[in-house]
Structures are given as structure tokens and as C-alpha cells.
A and B are shown apart, each in its own frame.
Chain A
Amino acid sequence: MLDWMILGDVLRTSLRLMVPIAFAALGGVICERSGVYNVGIEGMMLSGAFGAALGTFLTGSPVAGVMVGILLGAFGGAILAVLSIRLNVNQIVAGIAINLVALGLTAFLARLIFGLDATTKTLAGFTAWAIPGLSAIPFVGPIFFNQDPLVYVLYLLVPFLHWLLYRSAFGLEIRATGENPGAADSAGVPVYRVRFLCTVISGGLAGLGGAYIVVSQVFVFTEHMSAGKGFIALAAIILGRWDPVGTLLASWFFGFCDALQLNLQFANPSVPYQIFTALPYVASILALVGLYGRVKPPAATGLPYRRESKT
């Protein structure tokens, strides 16, 4: 049914659709590994998308746009960090609040700054950039090595995060903080600072993911354009077992489902496309149920840490 042409096409699309989810999810891995649930990823992505549109709109350069996007995402992360780490607000509630604020504020500011015709002005963006040599490999080349620059950033980010989490001293501190903050604290790990930093990093990466949607996919800012991708990223973290490589693969699976769903809507309307929109979520739940014992969040994720509390 699917011949090679279509498969290649779907794979290439799946990679493009995966990128925003993957950036956000990888940031989420760092954050949850340090013990903070980042339900605000959705809002941070949206802020990133808005920042990218704003930066590109003002400077005309998508690179500057991406920078502003990362900055605004990280700002969202910092708010979550202040609320959940310093003020001990429930992390889920703080995340949902950030989603709400981001949703309203970006829509409001977009109309204020870009005007009512916000969706009609096309912004500058990245175009595909073939890597000489590698892109010439038949079938694989055009899929993986004829993408825009941010995709290559993603390729480099995954091994870096793997190294950071499992090979560096800071990674050890992150994992210790997420598994047993009390023990980490008594070993001299600055628990609050590690969590704060990880949450800000997570916000920045979510912002990058959101920026990608603007500068590489649609080239405009529209209200609520993150459209639930942040929640898919949360699912990708679970399916990826809180591991950078696993999370990348999970994001790719979700991107593949999305690409398949888009392809089906056009090519074969008789197959209900909703199966594929719902598949990522069902797969994540099944992964939690079926792989229970092997799939377990870091022990202290979601729990606020207080130095003098007994638990």
C-alpha cells in the first residue's frame, strides 16, 4: 500500500514534525530528571514561537528570532522554577498556570504588535540545507541530511545530553537531585540551584521547539500554534523512559504518527485519521502499564523539596 516514494516522503515529513516535540521533550527529560514536572512545556513552546516571530519580525533574521524564542521559553521556565522551587507551589498547578498565561499573553501581544493581520505577513525563515556528501546517500540521504539547520542542532543535542546526564558531574547531580534530594543535599549538591537551572534549560529548549515551528515550518505566528505539542512532548518523555535517546526515538514515533495522519487525511479519507492522532497518547499509557517496573519516573519528580522536612 505504501510504496517507497510515499514512505520516503512520510519519513522526511515525520522528521520535520518531530523536531519541535523532540526539543521540548529533551528539555523535559532534564527537568524531570532533576525532580520537577514541567507541565508548562506547552506554554513555554508557545512563548518560544511568539519570541521567534517577534525577533524575526523586528530584525528580519531568523537566527535572532530563535534566540528571542529560546529566551522567552527560558523565562517561562524561570517562572515555573520560582513558583515550584522557591514558593513550593504544586508543580502541576504552576505549569497549568504558565500555559494559561502564555496562551493569553501571546495572543494578546501578537495582535498588539503584529496587528490584526498577524497571520498574513510571512516571516523570514530557514530553508533546507543539504549536507554535501551525506545527502547524496540514496534514500537515507535526502531524509536525514537535507533538512534545515535546526534539525542538525537536534542531531548534536542528543549525544550531548546523553553525555551530560550520564558522564558529567553535573549530570550526576541532576540525577541525584531527582532520585533523592535529601541524600543529594547532604552530599553537598546544591539541590535548589540544580533544579532551578534544569527548569530554565527545559524552558529554553521548549522555546527552541516552539521557535522551530515558526522559523522552519509555517513562517507566521498564529494563536495557540503549539496546539498540544507540549503535551505530546510530555508523553514522549514517558515513552522514552526519561532518557535522551529513548525520548528522541519516542518523539520520532510521534512525528511519524503525525505524518501518517496528515498523509491519510489527504490520500485515504476512509481510514479514520484520529487513530493516528490518538496513537501517541495510547502508546504512552500502554508503555506505562506494560513496561511498569522498567518505566519509572525519577523517584522525587513532582515532590517539592524542603530542607528541613522529615520525608
Chain B
Amino acid sequence: MVRVVQFLFVTKTIWAVVLALLVGSILMLSAGANPLYAYASLFGGAFFDYYGFGATLVKFSPILLAGLAVAIPLRGGLFNVGAEGQIYMGALFCAVAALYLPEFYWPLHLLVCALAGALGGAFWAAIAGYLKAYRGINEVIVTLLLNYVGINIVSYAAGGPMMEEGAPYPYSPEIPSSLFLPHIMLPTDAHAGALVGVLLAVILAFVLKYTTFGFALTTVGSNPQAAKYAGIHVQRQMVVTMALGGALAGLGGAFEILGVKYRLFHMFSPGYGFDGIVVAFMAGANPILVPIAALFFSGLRSGAQFMQRASGVDSTVIDAIQGLVVIFVAASLAIRFGESRWGKLLAQRRALDDQLTPVEKKNA
């Protein structure tokens, strides 16, 4: 019995997701649809349909990278709410590198474009990291505000200096076709960015756990004072941590240009950066779990269209379910086993045992 309860607690994130889906099914019922059929079409379309899975992977790439962009700073004690803006700045830097550098040997040029994207995101996040480390200004506020500055800069670039002649709305000329990211599931749009993202998640998990850099990063996060005595340059580490997060989001933005859009559009991201916050949170800021959470969320996003077509439930219900997932997961994480009724009961039992044992201890 105790085992079962403990198991329920360990897997509470999953139960929270199930609960959110249940509440979502009430919404679907109120719309006069069969929730079972709706969910079947949603997940069937997102994960068990070749084209549908391709569409899921297209969204998986930016959501995963944005998730890592939030998760890594979170481990370092910093809250990066600015992944959205970093995605935009990454896309801008990448588009500039793709459009204005003279074409050269393509793998190298592609690498330069991706790195330019990472640089753009890193630069944008480093502003917030610097202000936090050296001026003590709350990074949550700064990254949140920088989102809108970044979105507007891209909007200006795509509608002004970089705009294609005669374009009906703000977008840049197309990047050279040699720079298109390789596709991984032809004929869908799924591109190599998804694989790079997963690879980076694994590498980052390794780096956090086994390298001195990872140790410095997480120690600053968990105990800045101890980090200082351990000889870690806390302030510099904060800037670097933030920049690393931004670089990941910027890379996500670059992949959107190189893999899907092939142009710099204004307002091209439907809030991937904010999804990243949700994903990082669900994964408990653990880089290895981020891809799983990201896959779930990108599946929800892309499956919504299948669900709408098959069952007539409006795809906006998915936005509500996403929010509910966050609320329930957040609430479930807040409930700690030790503080719950069950935890307390078990603690009482242990205390009772302790009361009984001293006799034996004295004898021993």
C-alpha cells in the first residue's frame, strides 16, 4: 500500500497531465464532441501519422531548444522568461549571415549561420545576465521586456531594410537554397534541427553532471555563497549561464529560418519561447527530460489541427489544456511527499518505531 502511494507521488507529474486532459474533456463535452474520439485523433495525428509526426517534429525543434534555454539558466538560479525574444534575435542574426555574407562552401556557411543565430540569442540574454549579476536588476523583468524589444526589432528589419521588394507583408528575400537544413522525414518539413536539439540536450545533461563548468553553473544556482568560497567567479558565471540559455533559444530561431521558413518573417514565432518555459518547468529543469516534455507539447500543438478536422472541437481548446497542464503540474510539484497527509502518517509510524527501539539500543 505504502509502495503504491509512493509510486503515485513519484509519478505525480504524469497524473497532473492526465487530470488536465480530463478537465479538457469536459470542455470538449460542452462543445458536444466525444472526448475519447477527439483525443484519439489528436494523439493519433500527432504521433502515429507519418505526416502528422513530421509536423510535430517541426514544432519540436524550437520548443525543445526554447525549453533548454529556460532549463539551463534555471539550474543556475536564473529565470529566463525571454526565450521568445532570443528566438527572434537568433533568427535575425542568422538571416543576416545567410543573406549578406558572400556564399561559400555550404557546410561551413550553414555552421556560420547557425552560430550567428546562437550569438544573437546569447547577446540578447547576456544583457539580462549582466544587469542581474552586476547591477542586481531582476532578470525576470528584463528578459520579459526584452522579448518585445526583440520582436519589434525583427518586425522593423523584416518590414524595412531587409524587406523583399514588392512583398505583400513584411518578409525578407529567400536565403540561398544551399543553406536549407537537411530534411529528415521527406516529404514533410521535419528538419535536422530536431536531432541537433536532442543531441544538445544529452550533451548539456552530461556537461551539467560531469564537468567543472556544469558544477560551477549549478553551484551558483543552488548556493551562491558556497560557490564564491569554492573560487567560482559568481557574477561572470551568471552572465555565461544566461548567455548559454540565450544561445540555445537563438539556435532555435536560426533553425526556424534555415529549416522551415527560409525567410525572415515578422512575428514568425507563435510563442515558442513561452512554451519553452512550460516545458522546462514540466521537465523539472532536467535537460534529459526536456525533450520528452517538448515532444508532448509539440504533439499537442500539431495534433490540434487533426482533432479539429476529425471531431469538430475547436483547436483553441488545446491552448486551454496546455495552461491547465502547467497549473496542475505546478500544483502537484508543490505538494511534497513529506508534507502530505500520507507522508505525515508514515512519519508518525517511524516516530512510533523510534519510541520502541531505544530499549533495544540501550541493551546493545
Interface residues of A (CB under 8 A from B): 37, 39, 79, 83, 87-90, 92-94, 96-105, 107-108, 111-112, 223, 228, 231, 234-235, 238, 272, 274-275, 277-278, 281-282, 284-285, 288-289, 292, 297, 302
Contact = CB atoms under 8 A, between A and B. Distances in A.
A292 B156 CA distance: 30
A150 B252 CA distance: 44
A281 B330 contact: no
A289 B152 contact: no
B138 A302 contact: yes
Contacts of B318: 104
B156 A100 contact: no
B144 interface: yes
A97 B327 CA distance: 6
Interface in B298-345: 314, 316-324, 326-327, 330-331, 333-335
A66 B28 CA distance: 28
A235 to B, nearest CB: 6
Given A96-B326, A284-B145, A292 B135 contact: yes
Nearest to A278: B152
Interface residues of B, number: 46
Interface string B129-155: 001000111101110111111001101
A288 B131 contact: yes
A292 B335 contact: no
Nearest to B327: A97
B331 A87 contact: yes
A97 B326 contact: yes
Given A87-B334, A100-B278, A292-B135, A285 B145 contact: yes
B281 A93 contact: yes
Determine the main DSSP class of B at the interface with A. helix
Contacts of B321: 104
Contacts, number: 137
A289 B137 contact: yes
Contact of A223 (B81, B316, B334): B316
A260 B247 CA distance: 34
A122 B32 CA distance: 27
Interface centre among A96, A99, A223 (most CB of B within 10 A): A96
Per CB-CB distance, the 7 closest pairs between chain A and chain B, nearest first, are A104-B319, A101-B323, A100-B323, A104-B320, A97-B326, A278-B152, A107-B316
B277 A96 contact: yes
A112 B33 CA distance: 12
Contacts of B185: none
A292 B278 CA distance: 31
Interface in B249-305: 274, 277-278, 281
B148 A228 contact: yes
Given A108-B316, A272-B160, A93 B30 contact: no
Contacts of A101: 319-320, 323-324, 327
B153 A278 contact: yes
B323 A288 contact: no
B323 A104 contact: yes
A297 B330 contact: no
18 contacts: A99-B274, A100-B278, A101-B324, A103-B319, A104-B318, A104-B320, A104-B322, A108-B320, A112-B30, A231-B144, A274-B159, A277-B148, A277-B152, A278-B149, A281-B149, A285-B142, A285-B149, A289-B135
